[in-house]
Structure 1
Amino acid sequence: MQLSTAVERFLTAVQLEYGYSEHTLRAYQRDLAWFIDFAEETGARELADCDIELMRGWLWQRQQQGLAATTLARNVATLKSFGTWLERSRLVPGNPASRLRAPKAPRDLPRVLADEQMRRLLARVEGRGDAEHPESLRDHAVLELLYAAALRVSELCSLPITGLDAGARTVRVLGKGGKERVVPFGGPAARAIDTYLTVARPALIARAAQAASAASQSAASQSAGPQSARHDALFVGNRGGKLTPNAVYRLVARELEDEPGGGPRGPHTFRHTAATHLLNGGADLRVVQEMLGHSSLASTQVYTHVSTERLAQSYRQAHPRA
């Protein structure tokens, strides 16, 4: 069997059987496409040629290209998953990637906004809310829920209306690996979501339907034009379809431009901020782990480091004997 054929079969299994996210699938596709290119350049086209030395050679080449340790670690994880599948499928006698070791990536502390920054940002977005511009009301609800429930952007965009329990103030989200969890949110987010559902969402859907009707004379316009809201997504975009992660990224980046501090400007900043604020407020680490949907407590513990570093910075700035 050719190596490229084995890779195609593995990716099909990942897509149809493993329940991995689209993001993970795309990462596997990219990594293994680069791996196949390297293998073919070295003359290793058959599956029998896929051994640990070939894999180490590819990783060494990637390292020489100056790629970050985090990227190399992801490459190793991809090869290990591929090798495990090969072994389980009995296409090879053993996992050729079993002895690969990922480089240790330096752990950078995530960007976290101060309490006052978050209050100021959300108040600013709320102040721009206008029924004449329903997207402004939606944007306010999106940001409130991102922060209140510490959601991943993929979880927010795929959240169905049926996943919202307005009375209990909870959302039922589908996280990484298809794991479901119920997350609470507070009063400000509840009010923003209620306004969005009663005012903004119907207006966005109606506007999209009107645009689709106006374009109905052209078959080409119908196929590529505005989307009708034939889905159950809680948050809809300006054209009536599901709100996309890219749209949320642009929204968050725009709002973070006005806030001091460097670092990333994506939606994950709200998740980092929420987790840190919970711990600063006295929440138990295990509770925060469950809320974030982390399978490992180590993933949640990074936020204790953030809190400690913030305390150290305040001490150095304020204490006369620091």
Structure 2
Amino acid sequence: MDQQRYLELCEKQLANLPDYIRKFYINRQANAYSSATLYQYLQEYVRFFTWLVDEQIVAVPSIDQMPLTALEKMKLEDIELYKIFLMNKRKQNNHKLSFQAVNRSINALNALWYFLTIEAEQADGEPYFYRNVMKKVKLLKASETMATRSRHISKQLLTGEKKHDFITFMQVDYPNLLSNRQLASYKQNCERDIAICVLALATGIRLSELAQANINDLNLEQLTITVIRKGGQQDTVPIAPWSLPFLRDYCQIRKSRYLKEDNEQALFVSRYRGSAKRMSNYAIEKLVAKYSEAFGVRLTPHKFRHTLATDLMAATHSETIVATQLGQTTTQATHLYTHVVADEQRSAMDQLE
């Protein structure tokens, strides 16, 4: 989904929320939060306020009338009951929410209370209130060890030669699965589709960074791409050399095949009603799912990010290098890749005679 669509969805959500939520939204916009992240926050506040009304914890006719005093005087017991509600909530597939999803909800509430008690400023220079019940709320602990999670993830990665097998499949085998009509569309877009997957696998950049990249951000001579990281910071990311032929192939046909007379700066574009259009996050996700499903395992651009991180950890054994490549400010998240590499090392040792 592209940025403009997220902005439209945010406005729809804000129309049903109290005015102080809009002030929170403006504050986060000013601090370069992505529209996708802000939309997720707003969804969480709608869900929480709706629960407060449905459970008659706050007696208001609609969530847009949720008073600040209700948040100021919120009891720890009420937040704990909401956590239990989330832990037992069922998704469309009848599975319960993961502990990560529950923690995202709690973190969203943490952000709101922090804004209201610390960051917000009224006419007198003071925040809305000072009591922050969320300081007493603990996040859920992982229901599985990092090593167990890493083993689950490693089965869904294209590490080592598997990524080259996948790209070869896209080039050679995938066309044989198509009808004549599908084949025409494939021939139109194959260089672009391969370049998208290759760039994700060769850099580990996020889906949003991939979709928002412009043609001038890609430097094939220096093998780098400039992206805007979370928080609005610009970063120049190295690209693995094996990707160069595929990226060159796409760049050579991009203008003649897609742009015509258009002046679209987006790196990855599609033809829509005769004109070029930047590919959305959703379009890229759908593209990756289509090819990977045919390959035998449904993948996402985020799994490509995991793949790069795992390969880089295996090559460098440096959490700092991996964190820097991924645009992470700490090495906390990179412990996962240490476990994945350890699993691969154990597997290799088991094969020795």
User: How would you bin the TM-score normalised by the shorter chain?
Assistant: 0.7 to 0.9
For 2:132, the aligned partner's letter is: N
Q: Which residue pairs with 1:171 in the alignment?
A: 225
Q: Which residue pairs with 1:36 in the alignment?
A: 49
Equivalent of 1:113, from 151, 158, 162? Answer: 158
C-alpha spacing 1:152/1:166, structure 2 compared with 1 (3 Å): same
Deviations 1:216-235 (A, max 9, x none): xxxxxxxxxxxxx5541111
Compute the displacement of 1:244 (Å). 1.5
C-alpha spacing 1:153/1:201, structure 2 compared with 1 (3 Å): farther
Compute the displacement of 1:43 (Å). 4.5
Compute the displacement of 1:309 (Å). 1.4
Deviating 4+ runs (over 4 angstroms) = 127-132
The alignment yields a C-alpha RMSD, in angstroms, of 2.6
Q: Which residue pairs with 1:49 in the alignment?
A: 70
Alpha-carbon distance in 1 for matches of 2:138, 2:223 = 44
Q: Which residue pairs with 2:132 in the alignment?
A: 95
Q: Which residue pairs with 2:268 in the alignment?
A: 235
C-alpha spacing 1:104/1:306, structure 2 compared with 1 (3 Å): same
Equivalent of 2:88, from 60, 64, 70? Answer: 64
C-alpha spacing 1:132/1:43, structure 2 compared with 1 (3 Å): closer
Alpha-carbon distance in 2 for matches of 1:253, 1:231 = 26
Alpha-carbon distance in 1 for matches of 2:256, 2:81 = 56
Matched, 1:76 2:106: yes
Q: Which residue pairs with 2:34 in the alignment?
A: 21
Q: Which residue pairs with 1:223 in the alignment?
A: none
C-alpha spacing 1:52/1:160, structure 2 compared with 1 (3 Å): farther
For 1:238, the aligned partner's letter is: R
Query: Does the Cα contact within 8 Å between 1:131 and 1:200 map onto a contact in 2?
Result: no
Query: Does the Cα contact within 8 Å between 2:159 and 2:310 map onto a contact in 1?
Result: no
C-alpha spacing 1:99/1:131, structure 2 compared with 1 (3 Å): closer
SS of the residue 1:151 aligns to: coil
C-alpha spacing 1:133/1:74, structure 2 compared with 1 (3 Å): same
Q: Which residue pairs with 2:25 in the alignment?
A: 11
Query: Does the Cα contact within 8 Å between 1:134 and 1:200 map onto a contact in 2?
Result: no
Deviations 1:109-167 (A, max 9, x none): 22322422211111232446999934111111111111111111111110112211222
TM-score, length-scaled by structure 1: 0.82
Compute the displacement of 1:184 (Å). 1.4
Compute the displacement of 1:95 (Å). 2.3
C-alpha spacing 1:67/1:130, structure 2 compared with 1 (3 Å): closer
Equivalent of 2:346, from 312, 316, 320? Answer: 312
For 1:249, the aligned partner's letter is: E
Alpha-carbon distance in 2 for matches of 1:43, 1:56 = 13
Compute the displacement of 1:269 (Å). 1.5
Query: Does the Cα contact within 8 Å between 1:147 and 1:273 map onto a contact in 2?
Result: yes
Query: Does the Cα contact within 8 Å between 2:159 and 2:308 map onto a contact in 1?
Result: no
Alpha-carbon distance in 2 for matches of 1:251, 1:131 = 12
C-alpha spacing 1:197/1:97, structure 2 compared with 1 (3 Å): same
Query: Does the Cα contact within 8 Å between 1:145 and 1:189 map onto a contact in 2?
Result: yes
For 1:46, the aligned partner's letter is: P
Identity of aligned residues (%): 22
Query: Does the Cα contact within 8 Å between 1:252 and 1:267 map onto a contact in 2?
Result: yes
Which consecutive residues of structure 2, in runs of 5 or more, have no partner in the other structure? 1-16, 59-65, 90-95, 121-126, 176-182
Deviations 1:158-214 (A, max 9, x none): 0112211222111011121222221112344222222212213431123xx6xxxxx
C-alpha spacing 1:283/1:172, structure 2 compared with 1 (3 Å): farther
SS of the residue 2:271 aligns to: coil
SS of the residue 2:300 aligns to: coil
C-alpha spacing 1:134/1:186, structure 2 compared with 1 (3 Å): farther
Equivalent of 1:191, from 231, 239, 245? Answer: 245
Q: Which residue pairs with 2:286 in the alignment?
A: 250
1:105-184 superposed matches below 5 A: 105=142, 106=144, 107=146, 108-109=149-150, 110=153, 111-127=156-172, 133-184=187-238
C-alpha spacing 1:302/1:319, structure 2 compared with 1 (3 Å): same
SS of the residue 1:118 aligns to: helix
For 1:55, the aligned partner's letter is: I
Compute the displacement of 1:64 (Å). 3.0
Q: Which moved more, 1:22-31 or 1:121-130?
A: 121-130
C-alpha spacing 1:132/1:200, structure 2 compared with 1 (3 Å): farther
TM-score, length-scaled by structure 2: 0.76
Equivalent of 1:295, from 329, 333, 336? Answer: 329
SS of the residue 2:346 aligns to: helix
